[in-house]
Amino acid sequence: MSGRRNHEETKLESIQNREEHKREFEEIIIEHLDSLYNTALRMTRNRADAEDLVQDVCTRAYRFFDSFQKGTNPKAWLLTILRNIYINDFRKKAKRPPVVSLSKVEPLEDSSIRERASTLSHFANGKALEQLSSHTVKAIIDKLPDEFKMVVTLFYVEEFSYKEIANIVTCPKGTVMSRLHRARKQLRKELLSYARKKGYVKD
């Protein structure tokens, strides 16, 4: 009887552990789902592909959840998975042509973009460019190459540090800083060009 009781107790404990494991995972996913989706949409420029990418991230993250170190940054961990899947799978497939402008990214993130837009425009040409809307900034960011777009998104939107971004994109910190510098130069050119057309700044 004691052997059977021990077996039942072990079985119950195993079920409870699985439920706890699932609950912890769901809490992390729910907390960071919007960031995952908006980042995926920014990279794929297609709602259906973004949803598929996030689904793949969730599936892979759950499969390897045991490897996640508690106490570390879960969003950085999830975005690392997203970046790897995007590079290894989605970018190669190019399954669909872009059908959604970044101006249609969910409003949930608009406040974050709006707050950072002034920072992006400030390095371009001072306060004059702060008149640019968040939608305009998103569209200009979308023109960047993938390697620049990812670091700009992580730095200006998700507000990760250089070191955190380096861990996510798996490259040296110096490379991240270099990509951001080059991205800023390209953004400055695009922002100024757009602002001149709109009459926000003069030559």
In angstroms, the CA 59 to CA 61 distance is: 6
In angstroms, the CA 188 to CA 186 distance is: 5
Q: Which two tokens stand for residue 127?
A: 């306060």
Q: Is 143 helix (H, G, I), strand (E, B) or coil?
A: coil
Give pLDDT tens digits along the chain (203 positions).
Answer: 555 555 555 655 556 667 887 899 999 999 999 999 999 988 888 899 999 999 999 999 999 998 898 889 999 999 999 999 998 877 666 544 444 333 333 433 444 444 454 455 444 444 444 555 667 777 778 888 888 989 988 988 888 999 999 999 999 999 999 999 999 888 888 878 877 887 766 66
Structural contact between residues 149 and 43, judged by C-beta atoms closer than 8 angstroms: yes
Q: Which helix or strand (DSSP H or E) is residue 153 part of? A: none
In angstroms, the CA 113 to CA 115 distance is: 5
Q: Which two tokens stand for residue 86?
A: 């995007």
Q: Is 163 helix (H, G, I), strand (E, B) or coil?
A: helix
In angstroms, the CA 62 to CA 24 distance is: 10
Q: Give me the DSSP letters along 42-85.
A: HHH--HHHHHHHHHHHHHHHHHTGGGS-TTS-HHHHHHHHHHHH
Helix 173-198 vs helix 134-142: crossing angle, to nearest 10: 120
Q: Which structural domains are found in the chain, ordered by start?
A: 2-93 (1.10.1740.10), 108-198 (1.10.10.10)
Q: Say what the pLDDT of residue 13 is.
A: 59
Q: Cα 187 to chain center, whole Å?
A: 19
Place of tokens 């709602």: 47
In angstroms, the CA 52 to CA 200 distance is: 39
Report if pTM > 0.75: no
